[in-house]
Amino acid sequence: MTVNEKLSAVRALMKEHSIAALIIPGADPHMSEYFSEHWATVTFISGFTGEAGTLVITEEMAGLWTDGRYYIQAANELSGSEVELFRASEPETPSISDYIAEHLPQSAVIGINGKLFSAGHVKTFMEKWEQKQIGINANIDFANDIWIDRPIEEHTPVYNLGIEYAGKTAVEKLKAVREELQKLDADALVVSRLDNIAWLFNIRAADVMCNPVVIAYALVTKDSAMLFTDLKRVPIEVRAELAENIIELREYDEIFAVLKGMKGEHTLILDETEVNFSLYEACEGNEHIKTLNKTDPIPMLKACKNETEIANTYKAYLYDGIAEAEFYGWLDEEMAMGHEHTECTLSEKLHSFRAAQPGFRGDSFTAIIAYRENAAMMHYAPQPDTAKRIASAHMLLNDSGGQYLTGTTDTTRAIAMGEISDEERRDFTLVLKGVIALSTAKFKEGTSGRDLDILARYPVWQLGIDYRCGTGHGVGYLLNVHEGPQSFRGTTPLREGMVITIEPGVYTEGSHGIRTENTVVVRKDIKTEYAQFYRFDTYTVVPIDTACLDLSLMTDAEIDWLNSYHKHVFETVAPHCSERAGKWLAKKTMPVGR
């Protein structure tokens, strides 16, 4: 069926069941950013393939709400269908709740799948629509009802993450969580986020592409811990390790019955931003449970990496630096010989170099290998039938990373494939200036990422340029490449051990996209009478293409930083590379100066 035919089929079901509007989020029951194809319902109906999008269907309209990272991509993918693009980052664009409140009649009923919305999201809807008495039916899944060949949800074998990688046992982590619960005057916690569960129990799997998580729920009380997952895929050795850490195994869907049947009085932390509405309803239906809408303590515990994780992550970035050097050395040779390649063939080759590294467990996200104007789409992913051919001119962007037993990596480099324009050279240099300014910052204890964000944006702001995305995101340990609560947008103070990316950019539609991304870890610096100060230590060891620079725009201090960084890159990576990659590294890390 075409997009419009699918919309027609959904509307027929809506009419049959008196549903005035259907809201389909890009989500799974665990509020995951990335999820299995089983939950890619927005893509199935609309054709939009971006990770962040919500589809609204009424009798008269179909609209996709997405943010600034996907405007170009969404406009291209929705073209030819009746689905209208709503640019959610723009101030004049109504929110979904505002749109429905304005356009739907009194006492209309909205259909949703309650497992795909956080409890807080649904409660916000209810408050917004109360005046018009607009109701919600949380058991509607019409879009999936017409998806005949819907992919099954993968439940892959679970494996233990040893103490040599995790740094702490599950018992130690559970003790820390229970201490946090006590501070919050609670005795139980529902855990729904997949990366939180994997971290807490020191388990991993490959249930979601690029995210080594286990599809599961968890319930932690003051004297018990339960893991709810598909038991058939849990090997004996994992069962034994979980039992040793006093963790009880239950089937995935049993969590609803367990919550509804809990006896005795319990004060349960239920983070309404993370727990789905169906779980919330199960808790609210039990008179023995008092729920507290407080922040789940696990993300903060997980974000502050322990010394074992910090040390291991240097190894992960060394392996990644080796893979990138091998890739670029190969690419230089291939271009010199006139061999033809596309964005897709480069992505496959880069994957093969990472796969050769110790402890590799897959890519950390779908690689963004984007040539020329495709790089202006922040989350572009090449497809075999539309991938651009690489020529010896213009710029190529490589945003990619790997999952290793020693950590998760994420690096972006834009390189010159030949002659580039003065505008590209200027933009590249301004972006690098932002990277350097933020990388070299020292800041007081209590400083948030948002307090520092201007350091990265300041160089491009001077020309009236900005980028419609964050300057950086937290990174997990053999977990999600995007991890909170640390970021350069939020108000969470940056703490020792937090891993975060620094990645300003310039995106000029139809022309070019430039991003330079290093990953850093927060470390303690000097302590004075004024405060404890912190700094960033850079993990990434991949050269920055000096052929793209306008050195006249750089200060002596910035040039010194770049030369020092390149010296470190060469000394760290070159001893472990092939002769071809070593020659490429030597060329790309040569000192520059005016």
Burial 339-363 (b: 16+ CB within 10 A, else e): eebbbbbbbebbbebbeebebbbbb
Q: Which amino acid is at 217?
A: Y
Collapsing DSSP states into helix, strand and coil, what is residue 255?
A: helix
Collapsing DSSP states into helix, strand and coil, what is residue 534?
A: strand
Cα(405)–Cα(212) distance, rounded to whole angstroms? 10
pLDDT (average), residues 126-151: 94
Would you put residue 438 in left (φ > 0), alpha (ψ -120 to 50) or beta?
A: alpha
Indicate whether 69 pLDDT > 90. Answer: no
What was the pLDDT predicted at 529?
A: 96
What was the pLDDT predicted at 417?
A: 96
How does DSSP classify residue 114?
G
Token representation of residue 527: 């302590």
pLDDT tens sequence across 430-475: 999 999 999 999 999 999 999 999 999 999 999 999 998 899 999 9
pLDDT (average), residues 239-259: 96
Indicate whether 523 pLDDT > 90. Answer: yes
In 3D, which of 569, 562, 563 has the Cα closest to residue 540?
569
Indicate whether 386 pLDDT > 90. Answer: no
What was the pLDDT predicted at 398?
A: 97
What was the pLDDT predicted at 347?
A: 97
Please say whether the beta carbons of 520 and 537 come within 8 A: yes
What was the pLDDT predicted at 247?
A: 97
What was the pLDDT predicted at 468?
A: 84
pLDDT tens sequence across 329-375: 999 999 999 999 999 999 999 999 999 999 999 999 999 999 999 99
The sign one gets for the Cα dihedral 23, 87, 78, 342 is negative
In 3D, which of 100, 95, 26 has the Cα closest to residue 60?
100
CA dihedral angle for residue 86, residue 91, residue 94, residue 97, rounded to 10 degrees: 110
pLDDT band at 72 (very low <50, low <70, confident <90, very high): confident
Indicate whether 385 pLDDT > 90. Answer: no
Give the chain's domains with CATH numbers: 3-145 (3.40.350.10), 159-302 (3.40.350.10), 304-588 (3.90.230.10)
Indicate whether 253 pLDDT > 90. Answer: yes
pLDDT band at 393 (very low <50, low <70, confident <90, very high): very high
Token representation of residue 35: 């999820």
Cα(323)–Cα(539) distance, rounded to whole angstroms? 15
pLDDT band at 381 (very low <50, low <70, confident <90, very high): confident
Please say whether the beta carbons of 200 and 218 come within 8 A: yes
Cα(21)–Cα(102) distance, rounded to whole angstroms? 13
What was the pLDDT predicted at 68?
A: 83
3-state secondary structure 139-191: ECCHHHHCCCCCCCCCCCCCEECCHHHHCCCHHHHHHHHHHHHHHCCCCEEEE
The enclosing H or E element of 431 equals helix 422-439
What was the pLDDT predicted at 52?
A: 87
Number of H helices, E strands in the chain: 19, 28
pLDDT tens sequence across 144-160: 999 999 999 989 999 99
Q: Backbone phi, then psi, for 352, in 5-degree steps?
A: -65, -35
**Where is pLDDT greater, at 578 or 154?**
578
Token representation of residue 180: 């946090």
pLDDT tens sequence across 403-429: 999 999 999 999 999 999 999 999 999
Indicate whether 89 pLDDT > 90. Answer: no
Indicate whether 204 pLDDT > 90. Answer: yes
pLDDT (average), residues 207-223: 96
Cα(257)–Cα(15) distance, rounded to whole angstroms? 33
What was the pLDDT predicted at 264?
A: 86
Q: Backbone phi, then psi, for 2, in 5-degree steps?
A: -75, 170
pLDDT (average), residues 524-538: 97
Helix axes 194-201, 170-183, angle to 10 degrees: 120
Taking all residues of the chain, what is their mean pLDDT, rounded to a whole number?
Answer: 96
211, 299, 486, 575, 587 from 482: Cα distances, Å: 10, 12, 10, 31, 33
Cα(277)–Cα(347) distance, rounded to whole angstroms? 39
255, 487, 522, 524 from 442: Cα distances, Å: 46, 16, 10, 10
